[in-house]
Amino acid sequence: MYELEKDLRYLGVLDKSLQITAELGPEAAISYVRSAYRLLSKVYHPDLHQRNQKAAEAGQKRLNAINQRLDRISDAELSRFFCQAVGSSARHPRILVVEDEQGLKNNLAELLHLEGYHVKTASNGVSGLKAHLTFRPELVITDVVMPIMDGVEMVRHMRDRDPELKVLFISGFFGTRSIRGELMDEIQWCDYPMLSKPFRPSRLFEVLRRQLG
């Protein structure tokens, strides 16, 4: 069901589907997923996007492929997937990855998924704060230097909401005096670990296991 999970993430409905399953049951989640395709298909219709027609056509093509795969999956199979995913979500920690470098962000998400973690991503501190509200992660992996809002400021706001939040700072600039001074205040106060880019996946998982117990 890995392909199904990827499709639901592309549609942007996976996390909400699991919430609906937990609150209302899998039948309601199935209805939500199948209606999401119809709505997005209208949004991406090329006739509505003359200035961005190629992007709309590409989006429509991928949506159609996803819908064809969903049509081959019965409601009973979807129900089992949602129920199992909800049960798994209760056993595996949620991790929010906040990183403005697209390639690294996607690679981290893929690695964490393969290890069984539930992952959500954001590209800067502002979108990270929004994701924190809805996703409620146990741990946040965040870059330090990002546009709009940096990782240090974002974590301060998150900590106001959740003082027990666990954080892992990552950066390629820990050697610079200004970042190191600002960051060390956070680390000394809350005992947050940090990893310098680039780092090995084994080192990342070692830190995560220690942080999450």
Domain ranges for the chain: 2-85, 92-212
Q: Which residues pair with 140 in a beta bridge?
A: 96, 167
Q: Residue 16 is inside which H or E element, if any? A: helix 14-24
Say what the pLDDT of residue 144 is: 86
**Closest of 111, 165, 168 to residue 138, by C-alpha:** 165
Residue 187: how many CB atoms within 10 A of its CB? 14
Say what the pLDDT of residue 4 is: 87
Decide if 70 contacts 5 (C-beta within 8 A): no
CATH number for the segment(s) 92-212:
3.40.50.2300
CA–CA separation, 168 vs 153, rounded Å? 14
Give me the residue label for tokens 């909400």. 16
**Closest of 122, 188, 135, 187 to residue 161, by C-alpha:** 135
CA–CA separation, 8 vs 14, rounded Å? 5
**Closest of 48, 47, 46, 19 to residue 33, by C-alpha:** 19
Decide if 138 contacts 167 (C-beta within 8 A): no
C-alpha gyration radius of the chain: 19
**Closest of 211, 193, 195 to residue 203, by C-alpha:** 195
Burial 114-143 (b: 16+ CB within 10 A, else e): eeebbbbbbbbbbbbbebbeebebbbbbbb
One pLDDT digit (tens) per residue for the chain, 213 residues: 668 888 888 888 887 888 888 889 999 999 999 998 889 888 988 888 888 888 889 888 988 999 899 999 999 999 998 888 777 655 578 899 999 999 999 999 999 988 878 899 999 999 999 999 888 899 999 998 888 888 888 998 999 988 889 999 998 766 565 566 666 777 767 778 889 888 899 999 999 988 887
